[in-house]
Structure 1
Amino acid sequence: MKTRHEGFTPPTHSNQQYTPRFYVAPQSTDDDIDLTRLRRIYENHPDIVRTEIVYQRPGFRRDDEEVLAVDVNHVDRVTTLARQARQLSEFPIGDLACYNVDLSREFRYCLENNIDPIPASELSRLRLSVPVTETTGDAYTELSVDGETIAGSTEDILTAVQAAVDERDPDILVCSTSQIIPTLHEMATNAGVDEFSLSRWPDVDYQQLASQSTYSSYGRVGHSPARYNVPGRAIIDESNTFFYGETNLDGVLDLVSRSKKPIQELAWASIGNVLTAIQICEAHDRGVLVPWNSWRHEFYKPMGTLHDADRGGFIFAPEVGLHEDVHELDFSSLYPNIICTRNVSPDVIRCECHRDRSDVPGLDYSICDERGYLVDVLQPIIDARDEIKAAIRREQNRDDPDEDRLEELEGRSGALKWILVACFGYQGFNNAKFGRIECHEAINAYAREILLTAKQRLEAGGWQVVHGIVDSIWVTPDPDVDNSQRVDLNVLASDISDTVEIRLEHEAHYDWVAFVPQRETTAGALTKYFGKMAGEDEFKLRGIEARQRSTPSFIEDVQRECLDRFDETQSPEAVLGCLKRAIIKLHTGDVETEQLVKRNRVSRPLDGYSQNTQNVAALKRARDKGISVHPGQDIEYVVVDDEKSSRDRVALAHEDVETYDPSYYETQLVRAVESVLSPLGWDRTDIRRKLTGTQKMGLTTYTADGDR
């Protein structure tokens, strides 16, 4: 991996000269508040270095105002002192607001000191990993260094790690779990190995930056491991990184350049966290302070407008069944492009200067003519991703593509994609620093209008819409329209693109697409379909078992084999032949247990469950073996006897599993095959009836290809 970035600043240890700053200002321009009394109190505080009255913008809709700047002697004291601002002043809660408070440590340092955290040269990495069985003790007996397993005494492991660190002098330590860092140092202390250190400055030990925690986001429980800092090196915890796991180091570095968050912080940051950092950089460039608490009230709107605004994107319910000669069209980065082409931004939506205008379709919302800050945040990202995608196509079309170059480009493209995906929803997030619900509503309103426009143009051009959801639309030639009267799809897409000012791209051509019904009903599932790409030996799968992270690899492989047979024959009987062979393989014990491992997310502590589920059985086994599994983490297991409710119902994936429950996995196979056949009107009852009717003749009566 090669980089061409400049200015790498490794994580710094304590800097006695650094005095972080936060600000205090009136909550609104209507509050007539004298900040001098609070300033006098602050000046006597032992943790405050200095104060001054400066002119800053407390918000995008406000001009420069007098605000109190407070310089603190340590970054850990900023939040406490900001909280005391309201306690030390005579003004009631709500009159004062604090700014630039909850910035992450390294990001704050770079922002306040105008430091660019981009690496100047290629970065070296060293990976340390331990198996799950080693994560519970106070010392390791086995550890891998860049894939080479070291097993033995404490001294053997410490010697191997120290030798690798000394030889490689890595810029980045990639750890399977951040707990490796304190555990290795504790091992060294207990063994009396004084010279062991992972730091580039041995006189400065590692530091714990945050404790482990469990959180809930949009109804989903997550787990955040403890975070550590090793002076002079960046830490990437593979159990607590989104961007490094979903993209690669090139993707991480691209976002470092845009967000000014150093590698270590960006590695553990969420999409919203990075998007906020990019927005903060834009605010900083405009002289706008960053609010600590988001107290933006929702603008008043009549009940009718509220009803019209409180809607999502437009959806055309899919026509369940098999459709041939299907084309998929997608609007390129629809929501980000709506923001940029329609100037949808929190600082200009429903502006006072154009309050009598109705710019947003279906809503009485005006949008100011002045360019919004969110456009300046997103347009460079949209342009950059378009350029990267074009470079990927050029590289792929070369006779001898550069695989390293492709890996770099794809990593960068993937990282930017996630930022663009999140930018819309973040406008409606109640804790977003600069979000506003009216922006979220306006974007949806524009998106609905755009998709309806596309539908009307496509149907007028002789195409039939079989499914559409938010930014994608699937069409097939209308059988009632003569081919000579049908408008070329590329011509239509270009015409629609010009009309809505957002590019409508031809995403894919399918020989056929099957839309799957919802379980226990005939209505189409919105995001559950599969299709065969035209001219390719490739399927596109969405929502079915082969795309679900909990599905064992054996079930996935059988479902994919069924899809191959379905494509070749479009015959339910041929698909059932695959199912029969798989069931025989299960019941004869010919499936490796590694292929039957399920991976499920733990949603609560063990004592928080009221039912004896498989997860509970797995958690009990983990507890008995001293393995800690926190809410938000995954647990992997094989079902060995689903009739039981005790810990013996399952076996953990790392155990020496010798058996499994074939009846349970047979049921899962039938569900997977139902997903394949349900577009043709088959359900589990039909499949079971067919299996029962044939299996009565005996399993051995079937030949290798599944025919009698």
Structure 2
Amino acid sequence: MTTTLTGQGMVLTARVLPKGAQQALEIWLATEQGPVKLITPVQPATCFVTQSAAAKVAAISQAQQLKASLKNLPLNTFTHEPVSVIKCPQDRQLHILRRHCEEQGVTLFEADIKTPDRFFMERFITSGVHYQGVGQQHDNTVVQARLKPSEYRCDLNAFSFDIECDEHGHLYSIGIASPTLNVVLMIGEPEDAELPFKIIWCANETALLTEFIRLIQHHDPDLLIGWNIKQFDLPVLHDTATRCGLKLALGRQHSNVEIKVFDDNRALVDVPGRAIIDGIEGLKTMTFQFDSFALDNVASELLGKRKLIDDPDKLGAIKKLFTHDKLALAKYNFEDCVLVNDIAEQVRLIDFLILRSELTGLRLGRPGGSVASFINLYLPKLHRAGYISPNRPADGGLASPGGYVMSSKPGLYQNVLVLDFKSLYPSIIRTFKIDPLGLVEGLKSPETAIPGFKGASFHRSQHFLPDIITNLWQQRDEAKRQQDKPRSQAIKILMNSFYGVLGSGGCPFYDPRLASSITLRGHEIMQLTAEWIKASGYDVIYGDTDSTFVHIADNVSAEQAWDIGKQLEQDINQRWQQRIAEEFDLTCELEIEFETHYERFFMPTIRGSEAGSKKRYAGLIRREGNTELVFKGLENVRSDWTQLAKDFQLELYTRIFNDQPVDDYVMAIISGIKQGQFDDGLVYTKQLRKPLKEYTKTAPPHVKAARHADEENARTGKPLRYQKRTKIRYVMTTTGPQVVEYCRQPLDYDHYIEKQIRPIADSILPAIGGDFESLASQQLGLF
């Protein structure tokens, strides 16, 4: 017996579902009572065309037998042409229509908006929904479902999984770690062991996959999380299932995993009913940066933990364990699953992704998505204002001016203050009403509009983006008060992405007048702020995007420096409020903050020049008796410098900032290198950015090292390890670069002194009257 069912849930996945000659949407929700599947009424594929071209589209549709319907709407393009809406029974037909329209020079608008995305955004649904439809009380499927937005949230059940296999994709084991199931499925004969997880022994790959599918279906997780699982684990499982004659039925109601692999080996993965969270994608979305996103490196930096196999030839070690010690391999496999869970917990990854979904409508497993976030938030508001979206520029768009960077005054300073504009670009958008709709409406009556740059004018009241940012800003302030770091971080990333979106040729709202009215206004604000500070009697030594570096005086206390900084903050904020009110008749949303006092500060020159560098400096901060050395753009924070160089720079700068002698230290480092005392710190680490065979025009040192290593591997019958994108750890020897494990020649110590130590010393020693050449010749004369 069917009945009307209502409820609430969180959207996990959504996809188009063919329904005869039409289509509906299949939407899976997570609820407190368990998963619910919604089937919507029919949802046609939708786009727009100018009314002047509607007849031509109708003719194309008829010729191709596509059954597209057209209807005039009270909507216009940004060039004020009235439009008609086009509706096709299925996405496939819209794709065909779009292709034929392109061939005949007819422009369709919003044809790249996917049907599920349009369904949610037009209803202002992001994550939570109220639903009503027809179903059975004891079934989790609701048909003819109607949805509206809700603030609903529930706990999600996540499984972390990881596979182990050989270089050909033949499976050895699959591990799962979760609050409800901790297990490793292993091919082999049963062995007894006391382990913190269960081992299920499987006869072969078919049995292994069958049991994995059974466990997923039985425990029914909402999320599957892992490390590089979209690009590696799931494609390998899919290929294995195909080879074994199985369906990879990991989706809810035993639906199959859908995988599309592109020529560059990127994979798009869809598992109906389960969100797929890739740890690497997630951390990148949270704006984490690491020298390497390898699980071992990230776990080491975030958790202080290392993987159980620490062998340069990891694949060889795994194959050896599978042959000789399957229990050790099971421990390694399970530990990888646990590390992913621990990393996700440490950074609150799932919380962040849920918040991002609630703010933007992006599904939990979607990486990046700045443009999609903007479209989701902006497009439905635009339609209700009587406009449709333009299309992305065919040529990718013209580059817009970047952030303001002033020439620096190099030198070694005492007492440098840094004043930062709080979220400068979002503040400019709020203050000067910079907005796509505002630009269209402002150009109608520029005499009463707010002037921008490159001919832009913005309407004073007809706009959406300033209000969207204001709402996000208020939510972030509230998140800060509640110390809700994931929410604060999600909002900050979203707000700061909007300038990049407007300046990106990948965004349909791209217009150089929009991006330039933000960045060039930023230039103006930074330059005028520097003039005001100089007029107060202080020296501005550098400026960068939203930060101004001010040298006040050598002979002031920390308390006096702080007072000066707070006074500058107050004066500048007052002057901007007054200027914007008088010049533009607007409320100023700009706010500069003083937060950093460098007791010592060093701004280097550009190498080989006397001109000051940009985006490179170091400074000493003292807080509550503790000191912190900050490096920006220098060798200490660059992944392509050796550990010895980083350690040398840290110690050298620490001594100089604390007025300690350095000559003996520099000579001791030179001597120690020559005597082989620092060999462990002389390793370079560099990533292959493309397959090894594609390096044809040039061969940088890490490429030469990789080729040498794989020549050795080929000669000794070992697998080639360096053919694809991978991290290369190599040293410079007297005969050239070699990877660490195949280093057969003496290290080239002169190379390290000249290329790693000298540049660091040469940049700062002259500031204290020192000279590396004299120290080096004095020390090298002993050898």
TM-score tier after normalising by the smaller chain length: 0.7 to 0.9
Q: Which amino acid in the other structure matches residue 274 of structure 2?
A: R
Q: How does 1:285-300 map to 2 (within 5 A)?
A: 286=385, 288-294=387-393
Shift of 1:211: 2.1
Q: How does 1:565-584 map to 2 (within 5 A)?
A: 565-573=655-663, 575-576=665-666, 579-580=669-670, 583=673
**More displaced stretch, 7-16 vs 357-366:** 357-366
Matching residue of 2:58: 39
Shift of 1:472: 0.4
Q: Distance in 1 between matches of 2:570 and 2:499?
A: 25
Check if 1:253 corresponds to 2:354.
Answer: yes
Change (3 A) 1:77 1:328: farther
Q: Distance in 1 between matches of 2:512 and 2:97?
A: 30
Paired residues of 1:23 and 1:68 also in contact (CA < 8 A): yes
Q: Distance in 1 between matches of 2:602 and 2:683?
A: 27
Q: Which amino acid in the other structure matches residue 126 of structure 1?
A: F
Match of 2:436 among 346, 369, 380: 346
Q: Distance in 1 between matches of 2:458 and 2:261?
A: 42
Q: Distance in 2 between matches of 1:660 and 1:6?
A: 64
Paired residues of 2:248 and 2:256 also in contact (CA < 8 A): no
Q: How does 1:49-448 map to 2 (within 5 A)?
A: 50-59=68-77, 62=80, 65-73=82-90, 75-87=91-103, 93=105, 96-104=106-114, 106-111=116-121, 115-118=125-128, 120-129=153-162, 134=165, 136-141=167-172, 144-146=175-177, 152=187, 154-155=204-205, 158=209, 161-162=212-213, 165=216, 168-177=219-228, 178=230, 179-191=232-244, 194=246, 197-202=249-254, 204-209=255-260, 211-213=262-264, 225-241=266-282, 242-243=284-285, 246=288, 248-265=349-366, 267=367, 269-284=368-383, 286=385, 288-294=387-393, 312-349=402-439, 351-356=442-447, 359-360=450-451, 365-392=456-483, 409-448=484-523
Change (3 A) 1:130 1:573: farther
Matching residue of 1:498: 574
Q: Distance in 2 between matches of 1:577 and 1:150?
A: 57
Matching residue of 2:703: 616
Change (3 A) 1:358 1:262: closer
Change (3 A) 1:477 1:176: same
Q: Distance in 2 between matches of 1:555 and 1:164?
A: 50
Q: How does 1:544-555 map to 2 (within 5 A)?
A: 544-555=634-645
Matching residue of 2:687: 600
TM-score by length of 2: 0.69
Q: How does 1:618-633 map to 2 (within 5 A)?
A: 620=707, 625-626=719-720
Structure 1 residue matching 2:616: 3-state secondary structure = strand
Shift of 1:282: 4.0
TM-score by length of 1: 0.76
Matching residue of 2:766: 681
Check if 1:21 corresponds to 2:31.
Answer: no
Structure 1 residue matching 2:12: 3-state secondary structure = coil
Paired residues of 1:328 and 1:507 also in contact (CA < 8 A): yes
Q: Which amino acid in the other structure matches residue 675 of structure 1?
A: I
Q: Which amino acid in the other structure matches residue 322 of structure 1?
A: L
Structure 2 residue matching 1:198: 3-state secondary structure = coil
Change (3 A) 1:415 1:292: same
Paired residues of 2:415 and 2:554 also in contact (CA < 8 A): no
Q: Distance in 2 between matches of 1:668 and 1:233?
A: 54
Q: Which amino acid in the other structure matches residue 117 of structure 1?
A: S
> Could you give the per-residue CA deviations for residues 418-448 of structure 1, whole angstroms, max 9, x where no partner exists?
3333322433333421121112222233212
Q: Distance in 1 between matches of 2:173 and 2:684?
A: 23
Matching residue of 2:36: none
Change (3 A) 1:533 1:297: closer
Q: Distance in 2 between matches of 1:669 and 1:168?
A: 60
Change (3 A) 1:689 1:418: farther
Q: Distance in 1 between matches of 2:664 and 2:217?
A: 60
Check if 1:459 corresponds to 2:534.
Answer: yes
Shift of 1:205: 1.2
Q: Distance in 2 between matches of 1:187 and 1:363?
A: 57
Q: Distance in 2 between matches of 1:12 and 1:364?
A: 43
**More displaced stretch, 317-326 vs 238-247:** 238-247
Q: Distance in 1 between matches of 2:720 and 2:667?
A: 44
Change (3 A) 1:430 1:582: farther
Q: Distance in 1 between matches of 2:234 and 2:263?
A: 14
Change (3 A) 1:120 1:479: closer
Q: Which runs of 5+ in 1 are unaligned?
A: 27-31, 214-223, 300-308, 393-408, 699-708
**More displaced stretch, 371-380 vs 549-558:** 549-558
Paired residues of 2:257 and 2:272 also in contact (CA < 8 A): yes
> Could you give the per-residue CA deviations for residues 146-187 of structure 1, whole angstroms, max 9, x where no partner exists?
498776555485477457635753322223232311322433
Q: Which runs of 5+ in 2 are unaligned?
A: 1-7, 25-42, 129-151, 189-203, 289-346, 577-587
Q: Which amino acid in the other structure matches residue 436 of structure 1?
A: D
Change (3 A) 1:389 1:327: farther
Paired residues of 1:565 and 1:575 also in contact (CA < 8 A): no
Change (3 A) 1:357 1:199: closer
Paired residues of 1:174 and 1:236 also in contact (CA < 8 A): yes
Of structures 1 and 2, the one scoring higher in RCO (CA 8 A, sep 6+) is 1
Number of positions where the alignment pairs a residue of Structure 1 with one of Structure 2 = 626
Q: Distance in 2 between matches of 1:492 and 1:129?
A: 54
Q: Distance in 1 between matches of 2:654 and 2:562?
A: 32
> Could you give the per-residue CA deviations for residues 458-488 of structure 1, whole angstroms, max 9, x where no partner exists?
2233322121122100112157999999983
Shift of 1:294: 3.2
Q: RMSD across aligned C-alpha pairs, in angstroms?
A: 4.1
Structure 2 residue matching 1:69: 3-state secondary structure = strand
Matching residue of 1:9: 12
Matching residue of 1:510: 598
Q: Which amino acid in the other structure matches residue 492 of structure 1?
A: L
Q: Distance in 1 between matches of 2:45 and 2:174?
A: 42
Match of 1:650 among 713, 731, 738: 738
Q: Which amino acid in the other structure matches residue 128 of structure 1?
A: F
Q: Which amino acid in the other structure matches residue 220 of structure 2?
A: D
Change (3 A) 1:78 1:520: farther
Structure 2 residue matching 1:591: 3-state secondary structure = helix
> Could you give the per-residue CA deviations for residues 179-213 of structure 1, whole angstroms, max 9, x where no partner exists?
31132243345456x586422222x2111245253
Paired residues of 1:251 and 1:412 also in contact (CA < 8 A): yes
**More displaced stretch, 555-564 vs 437-446:** 555-564
Q: Distance in 2 between matches of 1:475 and 1:346?
A: 36
Structure 2 residue matching 1:662: 3-state secondary structure = coil
Change (3 A) 1:562 1:170: farther
